[in-house]
Amino acid sequence: MTAVRVKICGITRLEDALAAAAAGADAIGLVFYAKSPRAVDIEQARAILAALPPFVTSVGLFVDAERSELERILASVPLDLLQFHGDESVQQCEAFGRPYIKALRVKAGDDIAAQVARYPSAQGILLDAYVEGVPGGTGEAFDWSLIPQALSKPLILAGGLRPDNVAEAVSRVRPYAVDVSGGVEASKGVKDVEKVGAFIRAARGN
């Protein structure tokens, strides 16, 4: 089985990005959503990406952003991948001509396969917990048994993952990748280097 990929999201500091890369992260996530305690501005993002080593994917997270705002960010920040975490349509996701992943918030009764099928151009689908009024980053897990056995897109599992439960998540769900933010933090927006390393080792069964 191919080793699961790991994304460390909610990076706000250069030292945390470098520590994540050194620990073996495949991707880092930068949050461009002003209401998030992990939000970054253009200057922060540029500084982080300028120092990021090669072969670490940079992902920009957006929540129902205005097109003009997103274009302004893309003009200044060389993101590799866009992550849409709001109610964006497939047309909105495709509008920027960039590879993207679409986040879906899971709750009982959802037809996840049908939701995934609405985004045929997505590089992958991220599944997170549904929490009323919050687009993501809640640290809440969801019932993994709700995930269909065979999705049409690579699955990125998020929501309540931590160093002590990610191995079980990988074993049960067999995702393409796992995504963590709060589960490896010392405080909101500040990563705990030891937790980051422990998470990546556990995800890969090391």
Residue in 9, 16, 26, 93 annotated catalytic: 9
What is the set of domains in the chain, with CATH numbers?
5-204 (3.20.20.70)
128 noted as active-site residue: yes
Residue in 16, 26, 93, 128 annotated catalytic: 128
DSSP the chain: -PPPEEEE----SHHHHHHHHHHT-SEEEEE--TTSTTB--HHHHHHHHHHPPTT-EEEEEESS--HHHHHHHHHHS--SEEEE-SS--HHHHHTT-S-EEEEEEE-TT--HHHHHHT-TT-SEEEEEE-BTTB-S-------GGGS-SS-SS-EEE-SS--TTTHHHHHHHH--SEEEESGGGEEETTEE-HHHHHHHHHHHTT-
pLDDT in tens, 45-88: 999 999 999 999 999 999 999 999 999 999 999 999 999 999 99
9 noted as active-site residue: yes
pLDDT in tens, 105-163: 998 888 999 999 999 999 999 999 877 666 555 667 888 999 988 888 999 999 999 99
